[in-house]
Each structure stands twice: as structure tokens, then as C-alpha cells.
Amino acid sequence: MVSIDGLTSIWDTLLGAQPDPPPLLVLLTGVGALVVVSTGRLWRVARNAVTIAHEGGHALAALLTGRRLHGIRLHSDTSGLTLSAGRPTGLGMVITLLAGYLAPPLVGLAGAGILGGNRITLLLWVAVALLLAMLVLIRNVFGALSLLVTGGLVLAVSWYAAPQVQAAFAYTGVWFLLLGGLRPVVELQRLRARGRMPASDADQLAGITPFPAFFWVSVFALVNLAVLGFGAVLLAGRILTGHGLSG
């Protein structure tokens, strides 16, 4: 049984600010994330994290717009599927379809905001909590294993790793989500151009709005670029000033 002092210590660890990471660490983690996003073999493995955020975005949007969420599937080819029920048209469906490709960089931006206050452990624990919440909605074995492995890794880093290791892990993850939101949009358009994704989110949006699929692909790209720029400014502030954004 955990004592009151133990609970207080955990609470202080969770909400307390960690030491400022070296500016070089912030820079190198950004470069490392860019290498992962740009390298085919590394991307094929790491893309699972983007898929988790993508499907999580669909699921959250469906719940917030009043749709009935039936479950999420994550597949070994890094694709995913979120099943919800409700009106097949209307604003709720538009928001649900939009949320997938926009979710990874938006999650990264939220992470950059938390890192701005040096709440590195808090960021890692929030990530674990979100993964556990998503696990309840998973409807296939590979999806459950993906979330358990990812959540277990994040929890282990937050619990056992030294502060600098936690910082490197957290900054790499945030940079990766910010940068990794763009490559799936490029891949989407390439596949669409070859006629290999006729039921993509963009094509479904085209079917329920007056705008063509390429318009929605452009929206994905422009929003994700803007979010990447904003997130990079938040993170790069540490490189330029040499200390935390919160002082």
C-alpha cells in the first residue's frame, strides 16, 4: 500500500519542472526525428506512432461530435481503421474525417507546449494515459500489442530513466510527431494519383462536401506545415536562448 508521503512524492514528480535540457539536445533530437521521417526503413517502423495518433484523432473527434464509436484497429502495415456510427454527412462527419491527418502534428504541438514548462515527466505520463484510454477501444490483437509496447516503453522511460534520457526521449517524440505529420499527406497524394486509395479520408470528404479530394489533401498539408512551424518555434526557443521558454 502506497503511503501518503509516497503519493506526495509521485505527485511532485509528475507536476514538478525538470532541469532545462541543453540546447544541443533539443537540436539533435530534432535532427534525429528528421532522419527517422526521411529514411524508408526507419519510417516504416516508427510510422506506427503516427498511425496511433491518426486513429486516436478520428476517435476523439467522433466522440466530441456525438458519433457512436465502435472501435479502432491498427494493422501491421501501419494502416488503421476507426469505426463510428452516426450521420454519414454533416459537420460531425467532416470533423471526424479531418481529424486523422491533422492529429499527429497537433499532438506534437501540445507536447511542445508542455515541454515549454519543463514538465517532461508530465508529458510522458499524459502519453501513457492516452495510450491506455485508446487501448479500451482497440478491437484487434496487433493494435493492442502496439499500444501495450508503446505505452510500456514510455512508462519505463518516465519511471526508470535519468532526467537527460527522459528529455531526449520526450523531445524526439514531439519532434517526430510534428515532422511525421507531413509525410503521410505526401504518401496519400501519391497513392491517390495512382488510384490506390479511392476511399481515403480526402476522398470521403470530397463525397460529402462541395470540394474535391485534392482540396482536402492541400488542407492537410497546409495545416500540418503551419503546426510544424509553430511547434518548431516553441522548441527552437531553447536553442536560441539557451534556456527554457518559461524562464
Does any domain span residue 7?
A: no
- Asked if residue 27 is part of any domain, the answer here is yes
Q: Is 13 among the domain residues? A: no
Name which of 17, 25, 33, 11 is nearest 167 in CA terms.
Answer: 25
Is residue 76 in a domain?
yes
Q: pLDDT at position 21, please?
A: 84
User: What pLDDT, on the 0 to 100 scale, is given for residue 19?
Assistant: 74
Give the dihedral sign, CA 38/47/221/240: negative
pLDDT band of 157, cuts 50, 70, 90: very high
Specify if 3 maps to a domain. Answer: no
pLDDT tens string 113-145: 999 888 899 999 999 999 999 999 999 999 999
| Cα distances (angstroms) measured from residue 4 to each of 10, 11, 15 | 10, 10, 16
Mean pLDDT of 11-36: 82
Distance CA 218, CA 214 (A): 6
The reply to whether 144 falls in a domain is: yes
| Residue 139 counted as domain residue | yes
Q: Which residue has the higher pLDDT, 197 or 98?
A: 98
pLDDT of residue 27: 93
**Residue 81 pLDDT > 70, yes or no?**
yes
Q: Which domain holds residue 114?
A: 20-241
Question: In this predicted structure, what is the pLDDT of residue 20?
Answer: 80
As a whole number, mean pLDDT of residues 77-82 equals 94
Cα–Cα distance for residue pair 214/26, rounded to 1 Å: 35
- R_g of the chain, CA atoms, integer Å: 19
pLDDT tens digits for range 224-238: 999 999 999 999 876
pLDDT > 60? residue 9:
no
pLDDT for the residue numbered 191:
93
Q: At what angle do helices 201-208 and 213-241 cross, to 10 degrees?
A: 130
Please check whether residue 10 lies inside any domain of the structure. no
* Count of the separate structural domains present in the chain: 1
